[in-house]
Structure 1
Amino acid sequence: MPHVLDLASRTFWRLTGRRVDLDGAEHWLDAPVSSSARVGDEWIGAETARHGGAPGTPGTDAGLLPSMSCLDGPGFAADRLNPLVRDFYEHTSSWRMDVWSGWSPVFWPAGEAVSRLWGRRIEQLALPMRPLDVAHGMDSHVTPVRDREGVHVASAWTRTLCDSGRTVFSGAYSARTLPGADRPSVHVAFPLESGNVQVFLRPGITADGGLVLESPRGRFGEDGAYVVVRGASAHAARVPLHETFHVYVDALGVLRTDHELRVWGASALRLHYRLERTS
């Protein structure tokens, strides 16, 4: 039986969202879903089958994007990126992550409630609430999702805690162009039972070759965060969650990422990643 909290949240998003046609005008919101409350990684095989491909296996050198050049367009050229930044996105499985987290005291109670009631139970979007939660680092596995012709559709990235093996995030990463946009965005979809959370991140490059990914404020159909609920009909809502990722190489040649999550305009969570190539 579906959990009462999951039923309540899906009802809320149906009531507050808009009806969308995922096979038509809002095809840009078509993304994988989970068939069960605990997300795990079963959705990967189902998503591959949906595209007519064969089941994949985690790749030892697989990346979130097959090439950063798939984001090229006005204002973005992948060949301007620092080689380490580009290597991380094109060969993500070859990198290890150490993570530090810091919550705003104002948003910590809400974050703790979401983590306890949803994140840890469904093993999805389980944001670390305390620095020691991720003291032993994260493992990551990337599985390419391909269609029947072998064309790369997305990369499934699963991140687990090294000490417990518990899944923290599991999402599909790809490049996707929004309606009316002049170039692709990084699209991330986190499957949930009968729906998903999606984020469209607009890429930019700093003067020193760092990568900036942003999901700013905007209108429905622009870069940002969305919740999609599927059933007899599909509904989608834009949510006031905004993220910024800054991926850069520090003065000692170490690849790092600063990640900020904001609710409306207020900073709720900051994460810092130290990235190390393992092979």
Structure 2
Amino acid sequence: MRFAYPMQKIQDWLTQQWVILRGRRINPDEFPWLTGPFGLLDSIGKDFIEKFAESENLIIDYHTASQGLIPSMKLLNLSEAEFSKLSKQVISFYENTADYHLDFSVKWNPFFKIFGVLITKLFSVRINQLNIPTENIKDTESLESEIITLIDPDSKKIKYTIWYRSIKSSGQVVYSGIYGVCTLPSGHTCVKAVFPLPNGNATVIMSPSIGKNGELILDSSGKKFGDAGFYFLLKDSKGDYWSQFIKSFKDKLIIGEKEDGILAEQTLTLWNKMVLKFNYKINLKSKF
């Protein structure tokens, strides 16, 4: 039996041990679609970004202009019919995310709210990651949305694109994720978001489709390991890699063009029950 790395917070050790017991050992070289950066035990937030960039010999660009989560939406390999139907405003947002301002609201299912409070107290506040407000936000809050890129000094190409989001009024970091695309074993192209955690990460892989009104639908509702879905990854005390596919947890994002800009709805479900819902209003930043 393998064990998680011992010299860390007990709650981190227990969750990692759970992944080892319930998951599978993997060779990361055989799973390029799944692997991504791991968090460090002793750093959070932008401190992690600086240490990670130093360890990988990468240059940090905190002030990337007109940089997007996805360099080109054609990387999603949609059919010609799908791509022609996709909202031009949605394409612009993903390709030029740094040019946009976001407001959001949050609605919890009261039956799951206690789990959100526990996760926040045990993990999220400490590690500045997946730090979702535990109170409903009816009136929208503004998000500070920052695109940070890590650049290879030799090729000058972007190796990692980080979307760093915090609540403007409080500075509370909500998400710090590394975004891109990946190709599943099936050959299907998906959007991939990696959220570094101590000695591991949480990875969400979402399958794209286009709605009848040109909206982009990203869905993590896979059924088995190798599908789109939610995964935990970590290294054990001997340096071997482990992963667990969480079939019961699903994330669905619908983002489309409306008269007053771009609107998005993100729904997280557990055991097919709604846990919480985000609504976003997305508009171009003022140039003045």
Q: Which amino acid aligns with 1:153?
A: K
Separation of aligned partners in 1, 2:84 and 2:64 = 24
Matched position secondary structure for 1:7: helix
Q: Is the 8 A contact 2:60 2:148 kept in 1?
A: no
TM superposition score normalised by structure 2 = 0.88
Q: Shift of residue 119 of structure 1? A: 1.1
Range with bigger deviation, 55-64 or 153-162: 55-64
Per-residue CA deviations over 1:169-211 (Å, capped at 9, x if unaligned) read: 10100011011223x1000000011000001100111122111
Aligned to 2:274: 267
Q: Which amino acid aligns with 2:265?
A: D
Per-residue CA deviations over 1:82-111 (Å, capped at 9, x if unaligned) read: 121111111111111111111112211111
The within-5 A match list for 1:1-279 is 2-22=8-28, 24-48=29-53, 53-74=58-79, 77-132=82-137, 135-147=140-152, 148-182=154-188, 184-231=189-236, 232-239=239-246, 240-250=248-258, 252-279=259-286
Query: Where does structure 2 lack aligned partners over 5 or more consecutive residues?
Result: 1-6
Separation of aligned partners in 2, 1:73 and 1:236 = 28
Separation of aligned partners in 2, 1:236 and 1:156 = 22
Per-residue CA deviations over 1:196-234 (Å, capped at 9, x if unaligned) read: 000110011112211100001311011000000124111
Q: Which amino acid aligns with 2:257?
A: V
Matched position secondary structure for 2:16: helix
What is the aligned length?
Answer: 276
Distance change (3 Å), C-alpha of 1:111 and 1:75: farther
Q: Which amino acid aligns with 2:39?
A: S
Matched position secondary structure for 2:33: helix
Separation of aligned partners in 2, 1:168 and 1:140 = 10
Separation of aligned partners in 2, 1:121 and 1:137 = 22
Query: Where does structure 1 lack aligned partners over 5 or more consecutive residues?
Result: none
Q: Is the 8 A contact 1:75 1:204 kept in 2?
A: no
Distance change (3 Å), C-alpha of 1:50 and 1:30: farther
Q: Is the 8 A contact 1:76 1:203 kept in 2?
A: no
Q: Is the 8 A contact 1:21 1:27 kept in 2?
A: no
Separation of aligned partners in 2, 1:46 and 1:5 = 23
Distance change (3 Å), C-alpha of 1:5 and 1:141: same
Distance change (3 Å), C-alpha of 1:64 and 1:34: same
Q: Is the 8 A contact 1:38 1:123 kept in 2?
A: no
Q: Which amino acid aligns with 1:59?
A: T
Q: Is the 8 A contact 1:43 1:191 kept in 2?
A: no
% same residue: 25
Quote the RMSD (CA, aligned, Å).
2.1
Separation of aligned partners in 2, 1:256 and 1:135 = 12
